[in-house]
Amino acid sequence: MWLHGVVAFFWLGVGYLGSWVLAAVARIVVVGSGFAGVEAVRRLHRLGLCDGNECIWVTANSKLVFLPLLPALVSRRYRPEDVEWGVEGYARRLGVELVARRVVAVEPGRMRLEDSEVLEFDYAVVAAGARPAFYGVPGAEELSVTVYSAGEAWRLGEMIEQGRIRSMVVVGAGFVGVEVAAEALWLARRLGRELRVTLVDMLEEPLQLLGNRKASKLTREILEELGAGFEMGRPVTRVYEGGVELKDGTRVEGDVVVWSAGLRGPGIEAPREALARGGFFQVDEYLRVQGLGGRVYAAGDAMAFRRGDCVSLKMAREALRSASRAVENIAARLRGRSEQPYKPLITSCRPMAGVGLGPDRGVLILGKKLAFRSTLVHWYHEKLRRSYERLLRGG
Ligand SMILES: Cc1cc2nc3c(=O)[nH]c(=O)nc-3n(C[C@H](O)[C@H](O)[C@H](O)COP(=O)(O)OP(=O)(O)OC[C@H]3O[C@@H](n4cnc5c(N)ncnc54)[C@H](O)[C@@H]3O)c2cc1C
């Protein structure tokens, strides 16, 4: 439908009718169908912005993948169909046009899709998430597995279940690494299979970047109870078939190497000033991407947002909140009101998170000082999962 619109525009040229139509109807494009993309579309609809305007939803994979539960696929507590749902029906119900294609480049007022098609817009919200970062470590991308899709997580669990692996190296002891390690060990224990899991990180402790020492200590304790080993304080310099090599030459062997050592931006081309380190979209306090003419917003994992010394963390709740704010700011502009700055809730200065370490263990982190053993995160994830299942399946 939007292609017809573009063609119609060129037919009409810059005549009176064409100008009037364009002045009256704004085209708003949302990129991505993760937490931030779904929230942006939901908010556009709730604010009535798609009535009288044209809303287009472009996504590389027309599904919402509930990333926080991917580690629980490794241990078979959930199945792939429990954690991902197509968004076509939802788009149809909201009257939003869905375009199942990857955006490769964005510039002021237009974006290029993978088949070189150009999509023009008045406003856009780029919520294209993040991807694993390999930092140029030789072998990392080719020889390790990541846990960034339901298929990858499920296959990892399958290898354990079928007894095809007896050892695993997990590179990166952040949120994803510690959760995957715990779920893998829990599964092996439940099945009575031998599995040696070693966490490797250039930092000294798990979850160290959060700056909550109690959380790091509790997480390490729980992982050790489950039988995990640690090789900390040295970066990985190479991944080879059967393990990793550390900076001091130590080799840590594993039948499989899981890479969870960090994230980079979604890989969408943009002018230099639009991109922060790692390829994330650099946004101002209103979530407008710099260098893109002021009408492109970014939300969720795709953005780099800093407020003073504090950086917004790449978490589901931040994705939802930033997407809402971006759409509310677009609504404000269309309605002649002023935009509001984004106020992140979960930041490097105020970390708040639940870490699930197998089905019966976990850690709740509240700020820099407080951390408890708690399984609250399991309840929360299940509650949220059901609400997305209902929303997207239309139940
Ligand atoms: C294993 C794992 C566990 C996690 N656990 C937790 C947790 O316990 N708690 C928590 O709060 N957070 C957790 N997170 C982080 C959380 O899931 C993310 O912060 C959240 O998913 C970000 O949402 P998003 O919409 O910005 O990005 P995503 O969910 O990554 O969605 C990005 C969307 O953009 C689409 N896309 C990508 N590139 C393009 C393109 N070029 N063109 C068009 N579409 C594109 C994708 O198909 C996808 O639909 C976890 C993440 C992982 C990977």
- Determine the distance separating the centroid of ligand 1 and the alpha carbon of 92, expressed in angstroms: 22
Cα of 314 vs centre of ligand 1, distance in Å, is 9
Q: Choose among 193, 189, 212, 209: nearest CA to 201.
A: 209
Residue 377 CA: which ligand 1 atom is closest? 8
What are the start and end residues of each CATH 3.50.50.60 domain in the chain? 2-60+101-130+265-334, 136-260
CA of 238 relative to ligand 1 center, distance in Å: 27
Instruction: Give 216 Cα–ligand 1 centroid separation in angstroms.
Output: 24
pTM assigned to the model:
0.94
- pLDDT value of residue 277: 95
Contacts of 313 (CB under 8 A, 6+ apart): 344, 346, 347, 348, 351, 353
Nearest atom of ligand 1 to the alpha carbon of 301: 26
Structure-token match 């160290």, residue found: 208
CB 123 within 8 A of CB 28: yes
CATH superfamily, domain at 136-260: FAD/NAD(P)-binding domain (3.50.50.60)
Q: Which residue bears the tokens 């960090």?
A: 262
Give, for all 395 residues of the chain, the pLDDT tens digit: 444 444 333 333 333 343 333 445 999 999 999 999 999 999 999 999 999 999 999 999 999 999 999 999 999 999 999 999 999 999 999 999 999 999 999 999 999 999 999 999 999 999 999 999 999 999 999 999 999 999 999 999 999 999 999 999 999 999 999 999 999 999 999 999 999 999 999 999 999 999 999 999 999 999 999 999 999 999 999 999 999 999 999 999 999 999 999 999 999 999 999 999 999 999 999 999 999 999 999 999 999 999 999 999 999 999 999 999 999 999 999 999 999 999 999 999 999 999 999 999 999 999 999 999 999 999 999 999 999 999 999 75
Could you tell me the fold of the domain covering 2-60+101-130+265-334? Answer: FAD/NAD(P)-binding domain (3.50.50)
Residue 394's pLDDT is: 79
